[in-house]
Structure 1
Amino acid sequence: MKSCFKPVHLLWIVFFSLHSLVSCGQNDARQPNTKKIYSMAASSHKQLDTATFAEGCFWCTEAFFQQLEGVVEVIPGYTGGHVPNPTYEMVCSGTTGHAEACNIIYDPEKISYEELLKAFWYSHDPTQLNRQGNDIGTQYRSAIFYHNETQRRLAEEYKKRLDASGAWDKPIVTTIEPFTVFYPAEDYHRDYYNRHPDQPYCQFVIRPKLEKFEKVFKDKLKTHS
């Protein structure tokens, strides 16, 4: 299987052309649910914006995007389905229509939506239909949920150019859908990789991908004192 980390140079070409224009479900920590509908008004900072991406297990997505300068918060949750107030177990059943996704709250003065798209395309294999590696099911599909017309246009243009570039041997199956409602995941999913670095999925799935991600985006990473 072609690694999602190989076509780096093509991702950069597409990005600059646009700019100029073990499984996640095997969780052994069961804690009480704290369900609520995420409101886009949760952030009172007028200059912040939100991107919503689904690219497999949301533990991975959160770990990647937390590293980027300009990203203020990453919220794992569920979106794109038809069942209100879903639980993790419901979503894992594959019957709710929801995808594991992340709301990425970011400062557009520090990182652009185009740069977030580049990180999205890089950090998973968008040619795998309803799966990422051993995580299989519609809840692990590749999807972009756009919040406005500009995000829709940029996502569709990026996908079109990236597909035409031949970065992958197979067509990109990522869907581009309007954002509707986002349900934050249970509290035990928040900041999962940082809190459970020795958990097998974190060790053997997330960590190797994160190390590659950090090398590619080394100039965009947060500085830690």
Structure 2
Amino acid sequence: MNTNIQKIVFAGGCFWCTEAVFQRIKGVEKVVPGFSGGQIKNPAYREVITGRTGHAEAVEVTFNSDIVTLQTLLEVFFSTHDPTTLNKQGNDVGTQYRSAIYFTTEEQKNVIEAFLKLLNDKNIFKNPIVTEIKPFTAFYEAEVDHHEYYNLNKEQPYCQYIINPKINTLHTHFSDKLKTT
């Protein structure tokens, strides 16, 4: 097995947004929308959106650390959602929309903690960062109609008003990190 292939789970509000963002980064091999951080096994979307399962809408990101560093993925993550709002991203409100990172190795944990310290030391955000940092326990893949949502529905109003600005941020600040189409 290639030891440079790693997984990490990011929750940055709606998983449609987070999936669309990370799919475009060089070195990211796979992005799967789903749920993490909750109490029940195999939750369905209709259960998660009630907020009662404890899960966050999240994406499992498989990446090649020889091509893209965790540091870069963290820069992208913190640039494309608001890590200072508790259980809320824009109009999406509830614990299922919280900001969270579920790390899979101690090395990832150390990189994340150092990155958060840097953000806080430099006062990058006006308000305190509330991103939940926890060890990975389980990830449950979302139903197929949530996969590739942005790519298949770019004309939908949610995609136009919520996801397009995140994609524009990628093109503005991370153009050298984007996959070529």
**Does TM, normalized by the shorter one, top 0.5?**
yes
C-alpha separation between the residues in 2 aligned to 1:81 and 1:163?
27
Give the corresponding residue for 1:134.
91
Partner residue in 2 for 1:164: 121
**1:50: Cα distance to partner?**
0.8
Alpha-carbon distance, 1:200 to partner: 1.2
Measured after TM superposition, the shift of residue 58 of structure 1 is 0.4
Larger displacement relative to structure 2 (157-166 or 172-181)? 157-166
Question: Contact conserved, 1:51 with 1:113, CA < 8 A, in 2?
Answer: no
Q: Equivalent residue for 1:208?
A: 165
Off by >2 Å, runs of 4+ in structure 1: 44-47
Q: Shift of residue 46 of structure 1? A: 5.0
Note the C-alpha offset of 1:164: 2.1
Contact 1:49/1:107 (<8 A) preserved: yes
1:81 is matched with 38
Task: Return the letter of the residue paired with 1:145.
Answer: Y
Structure 1 gaps of 5+ residues are 1-43
Is this contact kept in 1: 2:16–2:150, CA < 8 A?
yes
1:146 aligned residue: 103
Structure 2: distance between partners of 1:149 and 1:105: 17
Gap change, CA 1:112 and 1:129, over 3 Å in 2: same
TM-aligned CA deviation for residue 214 of structure 1? 1.7
The aligned residue for residue 145 of structure 2 is 188
Scaled by the length of structure 2, the TM-score of the pair is 0.97
Which ranges in structure 2 are unaligned for 5 or more consecutive residues? none
CA RMSD of aligned residues (A): 1.1
TM-score between the two structures when normalised by the length of structure 1: 0.78
Q: 1:69-100, CA deviations, whole angstroms, 9 ceiling, x for partnerless residues?
A: 11111001000000111000100000000000
Q: Given residue 137 of structure 1, which amino acid in structure 2 is its aligned partner?
A: G
Which of the two has greater strand per residue?
2
Contact 1:129 1:141 in 2 (8 A): yes
Percent pairwise identity? 48
